[in-house]
Amino acid sequence: MSTQGANGSLLEVRDLAMHFPLKKGILLQRQVGAVRAVDGVSFDVREGETLGLVGESGCGKSTTARLITRLLEPTAGTVTYQGRDITHLSRRGLLPLRREMQMIFQDPYSSLNPRQTVGSVIGEPFRIHGIERHEARRKVRVQELMEQVGLNPEHYNRLPHQFSGGQRQRIGVARAIALKPKLVIADEPVSALDVSIQAQIINLLRQLQRDLGLTIVFIAHDLSVVRHMCDRVAVMYLGKIVELAEADELFAQPRHPYTGALLSAVPVPDPQLAKAKRRQVLTGDVPSPTAPPPGCRFHTRCPKAQGRCAHEEPQLEIRDGGALVACHFPLEAAEIEETVPTAGA
C-alpha cells in the first residue's frame, strides 16, 4: 500500500481554519467575535522533505502545527495523511496515527514532566502504545535513543532540571523519534536556545532525517535557521500563507513584499554586502486576528499597496520559477536585488 497521497505528498492540508470564539459575559456568555488564528491555509508536504513554516509571532504557525497533529479540532478544512482524511478522526482512531506523527515543542523544559526521570520521559511512548512492555528491554531501547541523540545513556535516571537547555531539547527529540514516526512537526525547536546550541540541534535533526527517513515540518521565525534546514518554505502572515517556494529560490528571489521585509532584516556577515542592503522597515503593528483587514491582509503595512489591495484578496498563484505567491504587485527584480544583495552570490 502506498504511503503517499494522490499527488505524491505524505501530508495534504486544504483550506484549514481555526477560529477561536470570543465570548462576553460571566453567567450568560455570548459570542461577540472570533480570533481567526488560521484562516484558509493550504499546502502539501512531500515525503522525505523539510517544509519550513515561517512568520512573525501570532501569525498562526503553532496553531497550524496543532491542527495537523489533531491536538486542536479545526473550524474548517481538511488534513489528509497518506491519502486518508484524518480531520475528524475520533480519539481512538487517532491513537495508531500518533505513532507516525510526533511533535517537538518549543520549550524543552515545560514539555517535560519535572518529576519523571529522563528514562521515563523518553520511554513514555512505548508504554502508551504497549510496546516493549518488559522494563529491562524498554530501558535498553531508551538508552539506545539517548545515545542516538547525543545524550549519555548513564544519565537514564536523572531528572530534567539536571540537564542544560540543549540537552533537554535532545530529550524531546528522543521522545519524538522513539516510535520511528514518518512525520515530525518541530514547533520552534531551537528558538529558546543559544545560537551555538541551535546549530547542534539543527545538525542533529538533519542527521536523524537522513538516518530515519523523516519528513519534517519545521516552524520558526528565524529565517537564517530555516535557510539551513528546509527544502521548501511557506511564509505566513495573519493566518494565511502569502508565499511558498523552494528554499533557494525564496531566499534569492522573494516575490511577496512581506517575505522581502523579513529577509531584509536577516543579518549579513559580509560588511560590504550588509552596507549595500536596503533595510525594509515595516510600519505599523500586525492587525488583530479578530478583525483582519479586508482585501490583502498585508496592505496596511505594505510599501507597494495600491487601491486594489484594500478590497480584493489576492490568491496564491504560480509565478515565474514555480513559487506560489498571494500578491497583486509582487517584487520586481530591482527591488529583490536591493532587499537581498546576496541573491547573486
**Domain contains 324:** yes
Helices (H), the chain: 61-68, 91-98, 118-128, 135-148, 165-177, 195-212, 223-229, 247-252, 257-264, 271-276, 333-339
| Contact call for residues 249 and 340 (beta carbons, < 8 A) | no
| pLDDT tens-digit series, residues 50-101 | 999 999 888 999 999 999 999 999 999 999 999 999 999 998 889 889 899 9
Domain count, the chain: 1
Average pLDDT, the chain: 88
Q: Is residue 103 part of a domain?
A: no
Q: Could you tell me the three cell numbers for 123?
A: 520511554
Walk across the sheet containing 50-54 and list its strands. Answer: 101-104, 183-187, 215-220, 50-54, 232-237, 240-246, 324-325, 317-318
The confidence score (pLDDT) of residue 2 equals 37
Q: How far is CA 160 from CA 43, 61, 140, 193, in A?
A: 36, 27, 19, 16
Q: Enumerate residues 6+ apart whose C-beta is below 8 A from 261.
A: 280, 281, 282, 339
Q: Which tens digit of pLDDT belongs to each residue from 205-240?
A: 999 999 999 999 999 988 888 988 999 999 999 999
Q: What is the pLDDT of residue 112?
A: 83
Residue 168: band (very low, low, confident or very high) from pLDDT cuts 50, 70, 90? very high
Asked if residue 237 belongs to a domain, the reply is yes
Pairing of strands 30-46, 324-325: unpaired
Q: Cell triple for residue 166?
A: 540543549
* 68 falls within a domain: no
The whole-number pLDDT of residue 344 equals: 40
- In the three-class reduction of DSSP (H, G, I as helix; E, B as strand; rest coil), residue 132 is classed as coil
Please state, as a whole number, how many other Cβ atoms lie within 10 Å of the Cβ of residue 30: 9
Task: Give the tens place of pLDDT for each residue, 320-332.
Answer: 778 999 999 999 8
Q: Is residue 210 part of a domain?
A: no
- 74/90 Cα distance (integer angstroms): 13
Give pLDDT tens digits for 259-292: 999 998 776 655 555 555 566 667 777 889 999 9
pLDDT at 194: 87
pLDDT confidence of residue 268: 62
User: What share of the chain has pLDDT > 90, as a percent?
Assistant: 66
* pLDDT tens digits along 89-101: 998 889 889 899 9
Residue 336 in any domain: the answer is yes
Domain that holds residue 275: 231-345
Question: In 3-state terms, what secondary structure has residue 166?
Answer: helix
> Would residue 311 count as lying in a domain?
yes
Flag whether 272 is in a domain: yes
CATH number of the domain to which 293 belongs? 3.40.50.300
